[in-house]
Amino acid sequence: MNTSYTGIGMTSQRTRMRMVERLRQQGIKDEIVLSVMGEVPRHLFVEEALAGRAYDDVSLPIGFGQTISNPLTVARMTELARASAAQGELNKVLEIGTGCGYQCAVLAKVAKVVHSVERLVQLTAQARKNLRNARVTNARLRHGDGHAGMPTEAPFDVILLTAAATHVPNALREQLAAGGRMILPMAKGIRGDEQYLLVIDRTTRGFIEKRMDAVKFVPLLPGTG
């Protein structure tokens, strides 16, 4: 056994548990979400130079002007995703904005399968590598513009966007299963710098929208790169 590796592993396990305690104090109540946040090795999703800060209460740069969301935001969105399902059992989830793949890895622990779309080809490749390192096997990544969703895999129990939209893309609404839920950061205000989480439930009587916590995300951009 490689003792130095085990040493790092134990340190990050302890740091991860401190992060979980913080999430509990910050109001995360779903025990499954807390335990998943304690399992997923967040340090494997950031650059080595930043690994020491991986469990801090901050978002971090992941290259190409993009960021990995802070742990509270990831936990909060996952909690909202799970709360939509009967007994918390999610079948198919669609994520828009794979980034480094961390939110995808967390979702993969609470869903049967996660499809995730990323517009930047380099980040898609990096996320594939990160998810392999973290031994996540039920995530399917695709390079493309998330505005179109993934019609071939629809309908989804949950559609989660990790980049801020100024309007709800129609294609995504249509790809939501009956009883399904979309969770997205909405940008408002003159400069689009005022953001909040929007939850949209698809019921038999139509779509019901609820405005939630204030958040801060990079913008949802058109096209691919």
Residues designated as active site: 69
Nearer to ligand SAH, 53 or 203 (CB): 53
Q: Which of residues 148-167 bind ligand SAH (CB under 6 A)?
A: 162-163
Q: Which residues neighbour 150 within 8 Å (Cβ) at sequence distance 6 or greater?
A: 94, 115, 117, 142, 175
The token pair that represents 123 in the structure block: 């980040």
Q: Which of residues 86-125 bind ligand SAH (CB under 6 A)?
A: 96-97, 99-100, 102-103, 117-120, 123
The least distance separating ligand SAH from the CB of residue 8, rounded to whole angstroms, comes to: 22
CA distance 192 to 16: 33
Nearer to ligand SAH, 97 or 180 (CB): 97
Nearer to ligand SAH, 189 or 223 (CB): 223
Q: Which of residues 37-96 bind ligand SAH (CB under 6 A)?
A: 62, 66-69, 96
The least distance separating ligand SAH from the CB of residue 66, rounded to whole angstroms, comes to: 4
Q: Which residues neighbour 136 within 8 Å (Cβ) at sequence distance 6 or greater?
A: 101, 104, 105, 108
Q: Which of residues 179-208 bind ligand SAH (CB under 6 A)?
A: none
Q: In what order do the strands lie in the sheet with 176-188?
A: 139-143, 111-118, 90-96, 156-161, 176-188, 194-203, 206-214
Instruction: Give the residue from 38, 37, 36, 58 showing the smallest Cα distance to 46.
Output: 58
The token pair that represents 159 in the structure block: 């559609």
End-to-end CA distance of the chain: 42
Nearer to ligand SAH, 102 or 156 (CB): 102
Kindly list the residues in this chain that would bind ligand SAH in the complex (CB under 6 A): 62, 66-69, 96-97, 99-100, 102-103, 117-120, 123, 145-147, 162-163, 218, 220-221
